């Protein structure tokens, strides 16, 4: 689970990562900096891993991963945290799903030339992502949460704990054993991400991420019980914040201030135990800067790390590569915070820990983009979908621009091959060959500049002008020079109704008008509205209106008669 072998760590270097985020930072007594983050795959999913980097020159340069928590493709390691305990030991914690466990590994001497990590062990259940708090009594409190019912960790993966609260875990023996204390069910909480602060009175304050910003709850019995959660008034855009008591006794808060989203990440200082905050050092004004974590060294310098444009959850490789995908840190003092600018000699802002560049991982097509497959590979991808309708939907979605460029002969060929492919009696091996033929026809055409939604709008206009005629799907496909199958899938995808249903709806609306305003009989209305068959007209009309055309006409006549009587 914890990888430290140099050769194996090569799989996790920056060039092989698509995204990275949720960082943590620590500094040893000897001056070595450590940073951690999690990554893996194209988003937050199974296969994620947590990594640790180090810097020997106060953050000017950083190593590739020196330790990685990874549990395989059927597991997920995420939301890591670094913490140096009162004994100077470096804790590396991370969470594992679907095991729902918080793991830790401890390095007794983080300043050593060769780092030695303990065997990973479980701290508690389910998720911890922020630093523990050392109380004046000497006890350590670890902020561990069991997420609320509305939080799905991964598809079909939901927290299993019966009590879904933001808990405090206590250790009296420096991390050998842990006891779960009380927890808080904060109204409107979101992922919890809670932090615990000890006030001068000995009271504990638990700050929790909420949809409206930051909530707070208090404990007057060392964490055994907590008051009902309330709004702290500190605000925020529903994102992780960082709050910590400094060596001076003042409280540091890093949060988004005067924000419009996750921007304006700012450091604030409280000199009254967290009641009010002064100053305001703007660490980073840019958008998508988030998830601060911090530490303080022996010289009074504060280090705060955060991420910028993580790069996960992008639709394709091009979108991913446009993101900054940066891990950064700021170095400052309390004096800088109160001054609202860097006045200390060693202070620095927007320092890069790691910035991802061109991707060169083993998976050359991580987003499964059709253009990066060979025709044969793409046919295999489609074939795995199984259902013919799903195959065609994906095919037309990926090659919509190519479909617009086919000749009439190519469209006929595509329709013939798809028709043959959809026949039950066609052997599977032949079906796959027919699919491959269609893919090759699409790939042989340059992409069109015409957007799919523009084509749909044109189809709607065309139907509006011709629905009273002998209008068929085949006629429309021929007019716009596209495949019949492509036309039907495109229209359904954009309108959520079939093209035939749309044509019938226009005809029914016109038929209703004729039934109200003209003296035509049922047969005349049927043909005037574009229906070529009276029984089909009656069936579609009743399906739409709930009554037959004849009954509808009688209802209209009755209503008209009643209105005339009222007027007279």
Model confidence pLDDT, tens digit, residues 3-19: 999 999 999 999 999 99
Rounded average pLDDT over 32-40: 98
555 pLDDT band, cuts 50/70/90, is confident
Res 169: pLDDT: 98
Model confidence pLDDT, tens digit, residues 317-336: 999 999 999 999 999 999 99
One-character DSSP codes across 380-423? HHHHTT-SHHHHHHHHHHHTHHHHTT--HHHHHHHHHHHHHHH-
CA distance between the termini of the chain: 89
pTM, two decimal places: 0.74
Last residue within a domain, chosen from 305, 330, 355: 355
Last residue within a domain, chosen from 496, 512, 541: 496
Res 568: pLDDT: 55
Q: Give the span between the Cα atoms of 521 and 398, in whole angstroms.
A: 48
Q: Are residues 510 and 489 in the same domain?
A: no
One-character DSSP codes across 437-504? HHHHHHHTSPPPSS-HHHHHHHHHHHHHHHTTSS--HHHHHHHHT--HHHHHHHHHHHHSS-HHHHHH
CA distances 269 to 20, 327, 333, 567, Å, are: 29, 24, 10, 77
Q: Which domain holds residue 532?
A: 501-567
Q: Does any domain span residue 460?
A: yes
Q: Are residues 350 and 427 in the same domain?
A: no
Q: Are residues 31 and 158 in the same domain?
A: yes
Q: Does any domain span residue 362?
A: no
Q: Does any domain span residue 389?
A: yes
Q: Give the span between the Cα atoms of 471 and 500, in whole angstroms.
A: 10
Q: Give the span between the Cα atoms of 142 and 407, in whole angstroms.
A: 67
CA distances 307 to 19, 185, 321, Å, are: 11, 28, 16
CA distances 566 to 557, 558, 559, 562, 563, Å, are: 14, 12, 11, 6, 5
How many other CB atoms sit within 10 Å of the CB of residue 546? 9
Res 479: pLDDT: 86
176-203 residues labelled b (16+ CB within 10 A) or e (exposed): eebebbbbbebeebbbbbbbbbbeeeee
In a 3-state reduction of DSSP, which class is residue 334? helix
Q: Are residues 545 and 422 in the same domain?
A: no
Please report, rounded to a whole number, the percentage of residues in the chain having pLDDT higher than 90.
73
One-character DSSP codes across 78-100? EEEEEEE-TTSPEEEEEEEETTT
Rounded average pLDDT over 471-476: 93
Res 452: pLDDT: 66
Res 448: pLDDT: 45
Last residue within a domain, chosen from 463, 496, 529: 496
Average model confidence (pLDDT) across the chain: 92
pLDDT at 506 over 60: yes
* Burial bucket for residue 535 (CB in 10 Å: 0-12, 13-18, 19+): exposed
Note whether 128 and 143 are within 8 A (CB). yes
Q: Are residues 218 and 321 in the same domain?
A: yes
Q: Give the span between the Cα atoms of 32 and 81, in whole angstroms.
A: 17
Which single residue is written with the structure tokens 């914890």? 2
Q: Give the span between the Cα atoms of 38 and 311, in whole angstroms.
A: 12
Q: Give the span between the Cα atoms of 184 and 163, in whole angstroms.
A: 10
Which residues are bridge partners to 209 per DSSP?
214
In a 3-state reduction of DSSP, which class is residue 511? helix
* Burial bucket for residue 50 (CB in 10 Å: 0-12, 13-18, 19+): buried
Model confidence pLDDT, tens digit, residues 223-281: 999 999 999 999 999 999 999 999 999 999 999 999 999 999 999 999 999 999 988 99
Query: How many domains, the chain?
Result: 3
Q: Please, which residues have CB within 8 angstroms of residue 249's CB and are 6 or more apart in sequence?
A: 200
The helix (H) or strand (E) run that includes residue 38 is strand 33-39
Q: Are residues 379 and 351 in the same domain?
A: no
SS3 percent helix, strand, coil of the chain, rounded to 5, is 30, 25, 40
**CATH number of the domain where residue 136 is located:** 2.120.10.10
- Among 556, 565, 358, 396, smallest CA distance to 489 is for 396
450 pLDDT band, cuts 50/70/90, is very low
């Amino acid at each position: 689970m914890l990888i430290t072998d140099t050769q194996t760590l090569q799989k996790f270097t920056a060039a092989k990562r698509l995204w990275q985020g949720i960082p943590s930072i620590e500094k040893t007594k000897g001056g070595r900096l450590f940073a951690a983050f999690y990554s893996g795959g194209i988003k937050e999913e199974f296969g994620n891993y947590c990594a640790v980097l180090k810097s020997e020159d106060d953050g000017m340069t950083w190593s590739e991963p020196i330790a990685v928590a990874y549990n395989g493709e059927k597991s997920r390691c995420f939301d890591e945290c670094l913490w140096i305990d009162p004994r100077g030991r470096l804790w590396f914690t991370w969470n594992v799903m679907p095991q729902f466990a918080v793991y830790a590994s401890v390095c007794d001497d983080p300043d050593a030339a060769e780092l030695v990590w303990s065997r990973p062990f479980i701290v508690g259940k389910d998720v911890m992502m922020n630093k523990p708090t050392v109380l004046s009594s000497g006890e350590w409190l670890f902020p561990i949460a069991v997420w609320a019912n509305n939080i799905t960790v991964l598809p079909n993966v939901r927290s299993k704990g019966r009590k879904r609260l933001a808990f405090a875990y206590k250790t009296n023996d420096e991390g050998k054993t842990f006891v779960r204390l009380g927890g808080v069910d904060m109204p409107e909480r979101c992922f919890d991400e809670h932090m615990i602060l000890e006030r001068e009175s000995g009271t504990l304050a638990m700050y929790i991420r909420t949809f409206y910003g930051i909530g707070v709850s208090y404990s007057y019995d060392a964490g055994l019980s907590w008051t009902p959660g309330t709004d702290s008034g500190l605000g925020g855009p529903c994102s992780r914040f960082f709050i910590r008591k400094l060596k001076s006794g003042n409280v540091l808060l890093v949060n988004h201030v005067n924000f419009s989203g996750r921007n304006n990440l700012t450091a604030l200082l409280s000199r009254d135990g967290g009641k009010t905050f002064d100053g305001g050092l703007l660490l980073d004004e840019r958008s998508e800067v988030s998830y601060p974590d911090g530490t303080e060294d022996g010289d009074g310098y504060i280090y705060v790390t955060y991420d910028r444009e993580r790069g996960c959850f992008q639709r394709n490789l091009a979108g991913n590569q446009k993101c900054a995908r940066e891990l950064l840190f700021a170095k400052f003092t309390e004096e800088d915070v109160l001054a609202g600018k860097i006045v200390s000699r060693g202070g620095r802002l927007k320092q890069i820990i790691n910035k991802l560049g061109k991707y060169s991982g083993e998976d050359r097509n991580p987003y499964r983009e059709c253009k990066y497959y060979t025709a044969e590979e793409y046919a295999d991808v489609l074939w795995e979908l199984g259902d013919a309708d799903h195959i065609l939907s994906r095919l037309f979605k990926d090659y919509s621009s190519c479909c617009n460029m086919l000749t009439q002969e190519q469209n006929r060929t595509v329709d013939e091959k798809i028709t043959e492919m959809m026949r039950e009696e066609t052997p599977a091996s032949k079906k796959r060959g027919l699919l491959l033929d269609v893919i090759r026809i699409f790939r042989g055409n340059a992409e069109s500049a015409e957007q799919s939604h523009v084509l749909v709008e044109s189809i709607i206009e065309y139907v509006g002008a011709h629905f009273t005629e002998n209008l068929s799907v085949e006629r429309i496909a021929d007019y716009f020079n596209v495949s019949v199958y492509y036309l039907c899938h495109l229209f359904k995808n954009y309108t959520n109704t079939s093209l035939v249903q749309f044509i019938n709806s226009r005809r029914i609306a016109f038929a209703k008008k004729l039934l109200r305003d003209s003296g035509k009989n049922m047969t005349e209305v049927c043909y005037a509205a574009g229906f070529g068959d009276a029984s089909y007209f009656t069936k579609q009309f009743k399906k739409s209106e709930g009554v037959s055309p004849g009954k509808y006409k009688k209802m209209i006549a009755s209503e008209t008669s009643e209105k005339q009587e009222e007027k007279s």
